[in-house]
Amino acid sequence: MLSYTNKADIKNFSIDQIKKWLENRGFQAYRAGQIFNHIYLHQVDDFNNMTDISKELRSLLAQHYTISRLGKTKILFSKDGSQKYVFKLTDGNLIETVLIPEKKHATLCISSQVGCALDCQFCQTAQSGFIRNLTSGEIIAQVRDIRKEVDNPQRLTNIVLMGMGEPLANYQNVVKALNTLTDRHFGLQFASRRITLSTAGIVPKLMLLGHDTTVNLAISLNATDDNTRSRLMPINRKYPLRELLNACRRYPLKPRQRITIEYVLIKGINASEADAHRLARLLRPLKVKINLIPYNEHDKSDFQRPESAAIQAFRDILVNHHYTVIVRHSKGRDISAACGQLRAQLL
Ligand code: SAH
């Protein structure tokens, strides 16, 4: 039975906010660390089980806060080993999170919004339109809940913000969630260098991100001229290629860090040899590695993936220009969990 509650999800608060809250009520600030350890390291779901905290404080916390989990509706298993979790939020909206096992570790691909407003012509998430931003608690919960479920939680070391939504369009909640995900003492203890945020290129937010976090940056570039890019990704009309690449040039990187350039290869649109040469030229001033993603076809779109020979030729040109290039064959295509296929349809 659903009951109305005006309690707040404690996962929406930073440790500093909870410290303040405690101090205002006469409790010691360090209690916040104990509470966060219970929630994030020990997966505690009930304030009452935090037995190193006084009964008085436990009941006060329970009066004001919940430690919620996402509603699980289903898990789809791909034959390549990846798993798609479909979660139901408290307002009934659905989001998707994909667990991708790799050789030595597992990567979690998380969502930042319900739907997306950017309307990229090749992406299925765009088709549901924008519904709402996820709260920082809902972003964190995708990681916390799945870490509780998996057989081998230590293997889950990497996170990519490449699920539904545009993370930089939900900037504050995303940065807040990243702070808790990477807090080494009181949060989920992920290493920033193992987290990658992918953006379609909201330039002003990009500059803030480099200032506020040290996570890796990925740019969905997908075209080498403004005409093509604006047609594929309307956000390019607001922040054209030159501005985007300039922002990338100024983006603060650690000594061995590079920006990942994602480039979806679409037959007849952006995958010619001339495009490959142009891409090599555009990226020359930057420290990058390039992920080529052969287009994942779906029935709502006429776009096609290029033939393998064309993909190979595109890659070879970039390699000859001395770039590090990976051709990413998206996982989970059979369960609609691949790049651009997340849309949380009612199944
Ligand atoms: N909004 C952010 C985060 C989503 S990442 C961003 O755009 O970066 C999703 C990635 O999948 C993007 O790089 C996008 O270009 C790519 N993509 C979208 N639809 C795809 C498709 N049908 N096939 C292959 N890749 C796709």
Atom 5 of ligand 1, nearest CA residue: 162
> pTM of the prediction?
0.95
56 classed as catalytic? no
Distance (Å, whole) CA 204 – CA 168 = 9
Q: Does residue 300 form part of some domain?
A: yes
Residues 50 and 196 in one domain: no
Phi-psi region of 92 (alpha: psi -120 to 50; beta: other; left: phi over 0): left
pLDDT score, position 336: 82
Residues 46 and 84 in one domain: no
Q: How many other β-carbons are positioned within 10 Å of the β-carbon of residue 142?
A: 26
Identify whether the C-beta of residue 253 lies closer than 8 Å to the C-beta of residue 233.
no
Query: Angle, to 10 degrees, between the axis of helix 273-283 and the axis of helix 241-250?
Result: 40
Q: Does residue 342 form part of some domain?
A: no
Query: Angle, to 10 degrees, between the axis of helix 273-283 and the axis of helix 308-320?
Result: 30
Q: Does residue 3 form part of some domain?
A: no
Phi, psi of 93 (to 5 degrees): -65, 150
Residues 51 and 105 in one domain: no
Atom 8 of ligand 1, nearest CA residue: 199
Residues 22 and 75 in one domain: no
Q: From the centroid of its chain, how far is CA 316? A: 29
Residues 168 and 317 in one domain: yes
339 classed as catalytic? yes
pLDDT score, position 347: 42
Alpha carbon distances (Å) from 149 to 115, 169, 186: 25, 29, 20
Q: Does residue 198 form part of some domain?
A: yes
Q: Does residue 288 form part of some domain?
A: yes
Distance (Å, whole) CA 40 – CA 18 = 14
Q: Does residue 346 form part of some domain?
A: no
Q: Which of 16, 46, 66 marks a domain boundary?
A: 66
Q: How many other β-carbons are positioned within 10 Å of the β-carbon of residue 55?
A: 9
Q: Which of 139, 216, 262, 311 to mutate to test the pocket of ligand 1 (most atoms within 8 A of CB)?
A: 262
Task: Report the CATH number that the domain containing residue 211 is assigned in CATH.
Answer: 3.20.20.70
Residues 163 and 94 in one domain: yes
Residues having CB closer than 6 A to ligand 1 are 122-123, 162, 166, 198-200, 220, 222, 262, 264, 293, 295-296, 339-340
For residue 46, report the distance from its CA to the centre of ligand 1, in Å.
38
Task: Report the CATH number that the domain containing residue 27 is assigned in CATH.
Answer: 1.10.150.530
pLDDT score, position 2: 54
Phi, psi of 319 (to 5 degrees): -65, -40
Q: Which of 44, 66, 88 marks a domain boundary?
A: 66
Q: Which of 46, 66, 86 marks a domain boundary?
A: 66
Residues 61 and 75 in one domain: no
For residue 62, report the distance from its CA to the centre of ligand 1, in Å.
40
Give the Cα-Cα-Cα angle 110, 112, 114 (nearest 5 degrees): 110
Atom 17 of ligand 1, nearest CA residue: 340
Residues 144 and 289 in one domain: yes
pLDDT score, position 73: 82
Identify whether the C-beta of residue 244 lies closer than 8 Å to the C-beta of residue 261.
no
Atom 25 of ligand 1, nearest CA residue: 339
pLDDT score, position 6: 84
Query: Angle, to 10 degrees, between the axis of helix 171-182 and the axis of helix 136-149?
Result: 40
pLDDT score, position 345: 61
Q: Does residue 199 form part of some domain?
A: yes
For residue 125, report the distance from its CA to the centre of ligand 1, in Å.
9
Residues 112 and 207 in one domain: yes
Q: How many domains does the chain have?
A: 2
Domain of 273, in residue numbers: 71-335
Q: Does residue 1 form part of some domain?
A: no
Task: Tell me the average confidence (pLDDT) per consecutive run of 10 residues in the chain, 347 residues long.
Answer: 75 98 98 98 97 97 97 90 95 96 95 97 91 98 96 96 97 98 96 98 96 97 98 98 98 96 98 98 98 92 95 98 94 83 66
Residues 36 and 86 in one domain: no
Residues 106 and 174 in one domain: yes
For residue 91, report the distance from its CA to the centre of ligand 1, in Å.
26
Supply 175's token pair. 């940065």
Residues 277 and 302 in one domain: yes
